[in-house]
Chains A and B, each alone.
Chain A
């Protein structure tokens, strides 16, 4: 049983560019949430998707957007990249509309130059 898978594992972008990160949830899970983890800090909640809609959102600007597909996979999009967007982006999935235990992927490391 595959766990949460994320792609790409590493990527480098320049300021002003746009990036898309992808996440496939653990089998049987219907809810995906995204976290940003800056170097040396704890993860910060970005948003959560369930039934293809954003259900909750943390304190992140509109440059951060997402999508969930009918197969429950998800994308995180960040527009107009800033140097401060450099971080590890973690995807977590859960079942029962987010009420069950979270399982995390290994993250996508984004570097903005």
Chain B
């Protein structure tokens, strides 16, 4: 079974600075997807960024980027120029190759990010 581990229960960052959230995962498969989701107090899970395992290039979405190390099974999220609205719980998630997994995601325990003004 796949597992996802987030070793940082809480992180804090000053507004406008950069922060990196860590995630490691365990799988025996070669084709899969990795995601970072944000869950603000409104409770709705919002997709931040996704990475296909077959792509060597790290995904980037505006201020959000990932460092995907497939051999090390590591998938960290970097938030640049942090904003107050970035404060939320962040979840790392894994999904098997889509043809077999459907909509089944395996989530980590989450990292609570605080942004200080």
Interfacial residues, chain A to chain B (CB-CB below 8 A): 31, 33, 35, 40-45, 48, 50, 55-56, 58, 88, 90, 92, 94, 97-99, 101-102, 104-107, 109
> Nearest Cβ in chain B — how far from A9, in angstroms?
9
> Nearest Cβ in chain B — how far from A56, in angstroms?
5
Q: Which of B93, B102, B106, B107 contacts A97 (CB 8 A)?
A: B102
Q: What 5 pairs between A and B have smallest CB-CB spacing?
A: A42-B107, A98-B102, A104-B45, A98-B103, A33-B103
Q: Which of A41, A58, A97, A101 contacts B104 (CB 8 A)?
A: A58
> Looking at chain B, what size class is its interface with the partner chain?
20 to 34
Interchain CA distance A35-B93 in the complex, whole Å: 13
Given contacts A41-B109, A42-B110, A99-B99, contact A33 B44 (CB under 8 A): no
Q: Is B36 an interface residue (CB 8 A)?
A: no
Once the chains bind, are A33 and B109 in contact (CB under 8 Å)? no
Chain A residues with CB under 8 A of B47: 101-102
